[in-house]
């Protein structure tokens, strides 16, 4: 039986950036980010995901980030630790560390580069869930990053594995999402992995979002979710359409470049620094992003509400 009933992952979970300064993780800026997210009302935090540049973080850095985020959150928001890699054994090590630190769940990405078969992916996710039963698993399907995608049949099989409680679905394919919900929605919480389709996905039965946009406007994303939860679909639609240019604008270059740039403008105590091979967004796109932020009145922290 799934542990989904014992773990509610509904709502807005921010895929937090990893602040760097001079090549190292800026733990002070990270802790300030966590406090700002909680003040904004988010339901959860997702450290060391795609937006957190997990691919360039060492295991030791990830474990320390987990520790800092969990300790700073102090139970005020759930923590879904990014424990997935393209190595099953390595993912188990990270999952054990996250469980020991008190994470609420682990985000486990489809194995990139290896290009496993559907059976290989099933065995990967099942093995991790069974090896670390103390840490519920959230599947992460993002073929645009990994070059492989879970299919509905495999997701259906995984929904019956004890400990697998949710999926972050980031194909932006609402037909695919609807098929998952139709077959697995009673056993597996479907969370949007693409901000721009979150509201439509919720209308199909999705239960939340793992969100990039909430790094910079957490209150607005929470307001969108709250309107939906209350059944005020007209207000939710208005909020969604108002945020749509930001949803797309934050992906004008490879994530997390734009969101790190915007966050650093809002909070100058945090650098927009990224690790190679990612580089700062281009001057032309920075100008576009500044104009978009001004249009949406998010050029200062006070303008975020």
Please list the active-site residues: 140, 168
CA 49 vs CA 52, 109, 185, 204: distances in Å = 5, 9, 24, 25
Contacts 24+ apart (CB under 8 A), 57-66: 57/18, 57/25, 59/90, 59/93, 59/94, 61/25, 62/94, 62/97, 63/94, 63/97, 63/98, 63/101, 64/25, 64/27, 65/18, 65/25, 65/30, 66/97, 66/98, 66/101, 66/103
Helix then strand then coil, % of the chain, to nearest 5? 50, 15, 35
Q: Which helix (H) or strand (E) holds 59?
A: helix 59-73
* Rounded Cα gap, residues 70 and 88, in angstroms: 24
Tokens 């928001």: give the residue.
77
Dihedrals phi, psi of 239, to nearest 5 degrees = -65, -40
Q: Are 215 and 263 in contact (CB under 8 A)?
A: yes
What torsion, rounded to 10 degrees, do the Cα atoms 198, 254, 116, 93 define?
A: -90
């Amino acid at each position: 039986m799934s542990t989904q009933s014992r773990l509610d992952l509904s709502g807005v979970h921010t895929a937090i950036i990893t602040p760097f300064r001079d090549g190292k993780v800026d733990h002070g800026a990270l802790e300030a980010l966590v406090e700002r997210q909680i003040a904004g009302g988010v339901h959860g935090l997702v450290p060391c995901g795609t937006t957190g540049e997990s691919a360039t973080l060492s295991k030791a850095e990830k474990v320390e980030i987990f520790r800092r985020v969990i300790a700073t959150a102090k139970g005020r928001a759930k923590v879904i630790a990014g424990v997935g890699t393209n190595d099953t054994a390595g993912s188990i090590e990270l999952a054990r560390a996250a469980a020991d630190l008190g994470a609420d769940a682990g985000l486990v990405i489809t194995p990139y580069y290896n290009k496993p078969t559907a059976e290989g992916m099933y065995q990967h996710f099942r093995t991790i869930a069974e090896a670390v039963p103390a840490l519920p698993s959230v599947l992460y399907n993002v073929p645009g990053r990994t070059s492989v995608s879970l299919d509905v049949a495999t997701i259906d099989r995984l929904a019956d594995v004890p400990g697998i409680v949710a999926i972050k679905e980031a194909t932006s394919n609402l037909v695919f999402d609807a098929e998952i919900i139709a077959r697995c929605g009673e056993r597996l919480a479907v969370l949007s992995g693409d901000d721009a389709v979150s509201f439509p996905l919720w209308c199909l039965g999705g239960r939340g979002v793992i969100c990039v946009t909430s790094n910079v406007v957490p209150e607005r994303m929470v307001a969108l979710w709250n309107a939906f939860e209350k059944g005020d679909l007209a207000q939710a639609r208005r909020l969604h359409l108002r945020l749509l240019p930001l949803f797309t604008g934050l992906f004008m270059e490879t994530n997390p470049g734009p969101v790190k740039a915007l966050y650093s403008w809002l909070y100058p105590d945090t650098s927009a620094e990224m690790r190679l091979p990612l580089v700062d967004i281009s001057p032309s796109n920075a100008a576009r992003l500044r104009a978009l932020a001004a249009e949406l009145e998010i050029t200062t922290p006070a303008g975020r509400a």
